[in-house]
A and B are shown apart, each in its own frame.
Chain A
């Protein structure tokens, strides 16, 4: 059972554009929703996270939007840069470890 569904699988965005990645979760016991960023040859690293008591969290160019009733959340990368090119994973967790989506490979082209 895939508890976190992520889309798209891959995304190409022009430099300066907005990158949007979407996730949907099934487990209503989840109370923590992080996004991880992974560069080739590296482990995933926490980028930004949200808890369901807020609908939005912003850190620099990165924003999470959260819709509890729809059980969906998304990552927005404003002013996307070539250095943002990486694979992004959404995840959910409650009192159990992180369950990850399958990832989105983002390519930001100049």
Chain B
């Protein structure tokens, strides 16, 4: 199994631009989590989905952030417009619904907004 695949690995963008981060789940997994990692705040849960349905998006910092699961194996996290304070490493993780605690992480996308 290839594991959770995220793209791009690195993204540098100018303030005000739209950024889209992509994630492919491990085959058969039906829970999907987006986390953000910063030095100050550590790993924060932004949003999670079960069976393609968003369950809790209370961690999404602002309306500028949105996430979708157009199908069972793929998710996107979009930031529009981006701001310098959005600079962080964004991880997605997936798991089986029945074992939602045992999450497998992708390698992350390092976002820099200048």
Contact = CB atoms under 8 A, between A and B. Distances in A.
Interface of A: 32, 34, 36, 41-46, 49, 89, 93, 95-103
A102 B103 CA distance: 17
Contact of A97 (B4, B42, B103, B108): B103
For the complex of A and B, list the 8 residue pairs with the smallest distance between their C-beta atoms, beginning with the closest: A43-B105, A102-B42, A93-B101, A32-B101, A100-B43, A44-B105, A43-B107, A97-B48
Interface of B: 4, 31, 33, 41-43, 45, 48, 56, 91, 93, 100-108
A41 B104 contact: no
A98 B4 CA distance: 17
A98 B101 contact: yes
Contacts of A101: 42
Given A43-B91, A44-B91, A93-B100, A99 B45 contact: yes
Contacts of B107: 41-43
A44 B33 contact: no
Contacts of B91: 43-44
B100 A45 contact: no
